[in-house]
Amino acid sequence: MTFQTIGVIGAGQMGNGIAQVFAASGFDVRLNDLSGEALEGAVARISKNLDRLVARGKATDDEKAAIMSRIGTTTDLGDLGESDLVIEAATEREDIKSRIFSDLQPSLQPHTILASNTSSISITRLGAGTDRPERFIGLHFMNPVPVMKLVELIRGINTSEETYRAMLGLIERIGKISASAEDYPAFIVNRVLIPMINEAVYALYEGVGNVASIDAAMKLGANHPMGPLELGDFIGLDTCLAIMNVLHDGMADTKYRPCPLLTKYVEAGWLGRKVGRGFYDYRGETPVPTR
């Protein structure tokens, strides 16, 4: 299989990072979103990221211009149909992802491979809803995509060996390292990481410590670069809650029950950094714990 044109669905934090990485590796990228404003914002973020690389001497102005020239944007999902690979990076909700793949299907070429950047949802189930389950796979990039080296590679039951091998080679081509995971709820990284964050929220909920002490304890006592509550804010508390619900439903084990306080923060709209408030308030010059 050869790849030249990559379609990316979703212009949020993950989608724009995926687009940047593929464009920087020489691929033509078509970035899609329902919102033209979101697409403009994504292109601006990519440009800003590249400006930082230029300032550090890790890229030239000509290299930046070449990367930007390889990124096209569209609000028409059908424009991605000519792509060799389409990666969905939409909101972590199965109904939304399934609808996207259904709407995309009529415009696809026979050879096109479909991938989801889902961090927790069944690849087998998503792929079964398409006309090409053997050419459907999970590519879970880590955030921030341009910086983090890992890509979780998840095969559904129907995913062919040819598709799997092609994705192994593609991940290597874009300078990333793959970790193959079985198609079980939340895969590897989030199966371990998100319950840790949820347990930190329980520690806060039960009064074991406050936000600052819990994060300091894990940074200084376990040598974590970021405390679990700070990390939850960085990931997005709505995403953390969605993954805990997938684990709880998929594993039928009460140890994965979401903390009520996490649910309350999401209900309040305190989703973390992306909205300016979560376990920390980011609206001032420095983050301030909210509990």
Q: Can you say which residues are annotated as belonging to the binding site for NAD(+)?
A: 10-15, 33, 92, 97, 119, 143, 274
The counts of H helices and E strands in the chain are 11, 10
Reported as type and span, the H/E element at residue 244 is helix 237-251
Angle of helix 260-268 versus helix 237-251 axis, rounded to 10: 140
Q: Which residues are catalytic?
A: 119, 140, 152, 190
The answer to whether 243 touches 194, Cβ cutoff 8 Å, is: yes
State the amino acid at position 164 in one-letter form: Y
Give the phi and the psi of residue 32 in degrees, each rounded to 5.
-115, 145
Reported as type and span, the H/E element at residue 287 is none
Q: How many CA atoms lie within 13 A of 191 on its CB side?
A: 14
Detail the residues annotated as belonging to a binding site.
10-15, 33, 92, 97, 119, 143, 274
Angle of helix 36-55 versus helix 13-24 axis, rounded to 10: 50
Residues 6 or more apart in contact with residue 158 via CB below 8 angstroms = 124, 127, 128, 133, 134, 136
Alpha-carbon distances of 226 from 57, 73, 183, rounded to whole Å = 27, 34, 28
Closest CA to 165 of 97, 113, 109: 113
Closest CA to 43 of 53, 55, 30, 27: 30
